[in-house]
């Protein structure tokens, strides 16, 4: 199968800077790393593909050869674009970026250290809580450092020993003709250490599964899709690495009365036929209580009233938005015979007045008449 274009693999343009290439690789390495996708067999292949692309494009000479000759340009042999030897080998190229992502790898005989994975949590809130803010308690399933071995993976009283196969680096160098390729040590699986007597609590993993109870301070004015970062509350790192972070994503439940758009609120206000015709006042709910809305005589259904300052404040702007109230004229139902007679007489009286009482209906009738006159010609 033909290899994909390296720029396409990383999702960058051919004019991308070295920093843009590095950032793109970080993102893909985080997304497809096998440790984070144990149930996805395709993740490892995608991870290796991204690694190969970064390996070529992060080196100035290799990138120049690739831009000119494509994949063939990387098969030039020792000293050319395709060589893996030289002062900066594969482990150096990969270790710099991979170490930035997972907490760094200590060299010089020490075991590799990996930062814990970031976690996500969806927090559902009522509109009132999102607007006012609160402190809520959440339960987050995660991996934490094993207390039985202090995260070392070795039974209490013992310590891991440096792997003799890789001298504690977690990497072994394979010589293939002119090429020198560095790979993960098969003996310690990249850890750099061997655990002879594993901890019985975590079975040598250094981490155990646990549900943590955390308090989350929700600032006033958060909206659907906002995220709150809890530093260090993600999964525990490996080999003494720092923990990841927890990102709490806000989800605001639908409200029975209001719809929110940023700092503004909107609602529908049912108004009786008589009030819409004669005018009057109706009680309008807000998040701060009830207010009186004056409805002018002759108000039509769909009319929108704006109440300034009756919206909500956001986390980015303390000034509250507005409340938009849309009038919905309610048609009377379940009328008595007497009410029907009265309404019939009223309707006859209104019709007798022509367009004076129903200007929209009269105008619509005239538009329809002109339309049929045109199509009949």
At 302-357, the pLDDT tens digits run: 999 999 999 999 999 999 999 999 999 998 889 999 999 998 998 888 877 766 66
Sorting pLDDT into bands at 50, 70 and 90, what band is 220? Answer: very high
Instruction: Write b or e for each residue in 142-167: b if 16 or more Cβ atoms lie within 10 A of its Cβ, otherwise e.
Output: bbbbbebbebbbbbeeeebebbeebe
284 compared with 206, residue with greater pLDDT: 284
Q: What is the pLDDT of residue 334?
A: 92
* DSSP helix/strand/coil, 279: coil
The answer to whether 328 touches 269, Cβ cutoff 8 Å, is yes
Q: What is the pLDDT of residue 266?
A: 96
Q: What is the pLDDT of residue 214?
A: 94
Instruction: Tell me the average pLDDT across 42-67.
Output: 86
The answer to whether 285 touches 127, Cβ cutoff 8 Å, is no
Domain annotation for the chain: domains and CATH numbers:
1-83 (1.10.287.110), 116-158+199-253 (2.60.260.20), 259-370 (2.60.260.20)
Q: What is the pLDDT of residue 172?
A: 84
Instruction: Tell me the C-alpha distance between 81 and 8, whole Å.
Output: 20
Assess whether pLDDT exceeds 60 at residue 79.
no
- CA torsion through residues 85, 91, 92, 98, sign: positive
The phi-psi region of residue 289 (left if phi > 0; otherwise alpha if psi is between -120 and 50; otherwise beta) is left
Q: What is the pLDDT of residue 307?
A: 94
Averaged pLDDT score across all residues of the chain: 82
For the CA atoms of 356, 360, 362, 368, the dihedral, rounded to the nearest 10 degrees, stands at 170
Looking at the chain, how many residues does it have?
377
Sorting pLDDT into bands at 50, 70 and 90, what band is 263? Answer: very high
Instruction: Tell me the average pLDDT across 242-268.
Output: 94
| List of E strands, 246-341 | 246-252, 259-261, 264-272, 280-286, 289-295, 304-307, 323-330
Instruction: Tell me the C-alpha distance between 25 and 10, whole Å.
Output: 6
Q: What is the pLDDT of residue 255?
A: 95
Sorting pLDDT into bands at 50, 70 and 90, what band is 75? Answer: low
Nearest Cα to Cα of residue 153 among 188, 120, 179: 188
Sorting pLDDT into bands at 50, 70 and 90, what band is 176? Answer: low
Q: HSE on the CB side for 100, CA within 13 Å? A: 11
The answer to whether 117 touches 235, Cβ cutoff 8 Å, is yes
- The highest-confidence range among 204-213, 233-242, 254-263, by mean pLDDT, is 254-263
CA angle 92, 97, 99 (to 5 degrees): 85
Helix axes 41-57, 18-32, angle to 10 degrees: 170
Residue 258: both structure tokens together: 């209001």
Instruction: Write b or e for each residue in 39-49: b if 16 or more Cβ atoms lie within 10 A of its Cβ, otherwise e.
Output: eeeebeebbeb
Nearest Cα to Cα of residue 151 among 208, 102, 103: 208
- CA torsion through residues 299, 301, 303, 305, sign: positive
The answer to whether 172 touches 183, Cβ cutoff 8 Å, is yes
List for the chain the helix, strand, coil content (%; round to 5). 30, 25, 40
Instruction: Tell me the C-alpha distance between 250 and 253, whole Å.
Output: 10
Q: What is the pLDDT of residue 372?
A: 67
The answer to whether 232 touches 243, Cβ cutoff 8 Å, is yes
């Amino acid at each position: 199968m033909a290899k994909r274009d390296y720029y396409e693999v990383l999702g960058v343009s051919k004019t991308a800077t070295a920093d843009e290439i590095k950032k793109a690789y970080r993102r893909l390495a985080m997304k497809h790393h096998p440790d984070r996708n144990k149930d996805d067999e395709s993740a490892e292949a995608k991870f290796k593909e991204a690694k190969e692309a970064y390996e070529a494009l992060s080196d100035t000479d290799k990138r120049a050869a690739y831009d000119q000759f494509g994949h063939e340009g990387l098969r030039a042999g020792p000293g050319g674009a395709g060589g893996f030897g030289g002062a900066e080998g594969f482990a150096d190229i990969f270790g710099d970026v991979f170490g930035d992502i997972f907490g760094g790898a200590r060299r010089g005989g020490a075991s590799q250290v990996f930062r814990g994975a970031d976690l996500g949590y969806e927090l559902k809130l009522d509109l009132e809580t999102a607007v006012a803010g609160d402190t809520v308690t959440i339960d987050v399933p995660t991996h934490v450092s094993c207390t039985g071995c202090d995260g070392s993976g070795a039974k209490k009283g013992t310590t891991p020993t440096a792997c003799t196969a890789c001298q504690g680096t977690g990497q072994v160098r394979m010589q293939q003709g002119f090429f020198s390729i560095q790979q993960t040590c098969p003996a310690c699986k990249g850890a750099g250490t061997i655990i002879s007597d594993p901890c019985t609590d975590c079975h040598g993993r250094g981490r155990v599964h646990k549900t943590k109870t955390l308090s989350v301070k929700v600032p006033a004015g958060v909206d659907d899709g906002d995220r709150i970062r809890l530093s260090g509350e993600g999964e525990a790192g490996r080999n003494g690495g720092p923990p990841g972070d927890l990102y709490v994503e806000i989800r605001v439940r639908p409200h029975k009365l209001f719809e929110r758009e940023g700092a503004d609120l909107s609602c529908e206000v049912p108004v009786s036929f008589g009030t819409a015709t004669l005018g009057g006042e109706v009680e309008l709910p807000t998040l701060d209580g009830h207010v009186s809305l004056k409805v002018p005589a002759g108000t039509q259904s769909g009319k929108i009233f704006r109440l300034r300052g009756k919206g909500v404040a956001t986390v980015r702007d303390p000034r509250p938005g507005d409340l938009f109230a849309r009038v919905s004229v309610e048609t009377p139902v379940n009328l008595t015979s007497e009410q029907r007679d009265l309404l019939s007489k009223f309707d006859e009286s209104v019709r007798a007045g022509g367009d004076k009482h129903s200007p929209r209906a009269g105008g619509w009738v005239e538009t329809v008449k002109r339309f049929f006159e045109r199509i009949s010609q």
